[in-house]
Amino acid sequence: MHLKTVIGTMRPNFLLLSLVVVLLGSALALYDGAQWSWGLFALLMVGGVLAHACVNMQNEYEDYKSGLDDLTQRTPFSGGSGSLQRHPQSAPYVLNTLVICLLALIGIGLYLVLLKGWMLLPIGVLGVLVIVTYTSKLTKSPWLCLVSPGLAFGPLMVLGTYYVWTSAFTWTAFWLSMVPFFLVNNLLLLNQFPDLEADRKIGRYNVLMLVGARRGSHIFNGFLVLSLLMLFIAYFSSPLPNTLLIALLAFIIAIPLFDRVSKHYQSMDKLMPALAMNVIINLLTPLLMAGGLFWAII
């Protein structure tokens, strides 16, 4: 029972996001001439999943302690997993597992710093700070809460992965990392719509509370457009292959997603399909970008 609860708080269905983002950074590095190593790739994947699992467990544990998950209307995409609500006696096991995973993540990070150089250290430190402060601190600051998820899964994870492979940072890697930056910001932003009143009751202060749901929907759609723009900037400003543009197939979903959020941001029932589309575009876009880069290599 404790093991099942601990795994539930990791939200395993959502850990795919960290895998495809690490895959994107690795694909770009390989396209740029990096020497492939299955061992290094596995280590990066484990590190990415650990980072994602840590922030999920931290969020689930703190939301359980604050009582937030008792107030939310849980959906397949928001409101937490409900694991600790069903088995509150497992809370110490979740906390202990979180600490172990965080220490393992820090260990992997320090090993990579020793292996590849100190330039990785700021990325690792900032990533750990996002993990440990997101739920308790960052969710009380509207703009930091808005951009910190994208920062973690975009520039930090993509650039960090790319640097491990190449020992360099490039503008190409930066522009490509900005695609998941805007998409992942949107992933968390849209999930805040169903939880708005519950979040308000326990003291959170996100951008929807600051500017209102209507303007929040405009921010969402603006970020959706900007993610597409970042893909084009990367493509036209760098010697990237035409196969990268296979990622445009993912943006077909952006059309109905844009329309539904614009029209139904106040109707949670009608907004639910948008939450599903939002998850799909977050997973499919970096996966297709990585696929396009690998395709160009072979």
Query: Which residues, 6+ apart, have CB-to-CB distance to 78 below 8 Å?
Result: 72, 191, 192, 194, 195, 275
Q: What is the pTM of this model?
A: 0.94
The pLDDT, as a whole number, for residue 167 is 95
pLDDT at residue 100 above 80? yes
- 44-56, pLDDT tens digit by residue? 999 999 999 999 9
Count of CA atoms in the C-beta half-sphere (13 A) of 42: 3
- Report yes or no: 49 and 17 within 8 Å, Cβ to Cβ: no
- Report yes or no: 179 and 172 within 8 Å, Cβ to Cβ: no
| CA distances for 233 relative to 73, 171, 184, 228, angstroms | 39, 10, 19, 9
Rounded distance, CA 76 to CA 280, Å? 13
- 129-148, pLDDT tens digit by residue? 999 999 889 999 999 999 99
- 1-12, pLDDT tens digit by residue? 788 999 999 999
The structure tokens listed for 31 are 């396209």
> Tell me, what DSSP letter sits at residue 155?
I
Grouping H, G, I as helix, E, B as strand and the rest as coil, residue 1 is coil
The total of other beta-carbon atoms located within 10 Å of residue 190's CB is 24
Higher pLDDT, 208 or 73: 208
The pLDDT, as a whole number, for residue 245 is 96
| CA distances for 36 relative to 40, 164, 293, angstroms | 8, 11, 14
Rounded distance, CA 88 to CA 130, Å? 26
Residue in the structure block whose two tokens are 């997993």: 81
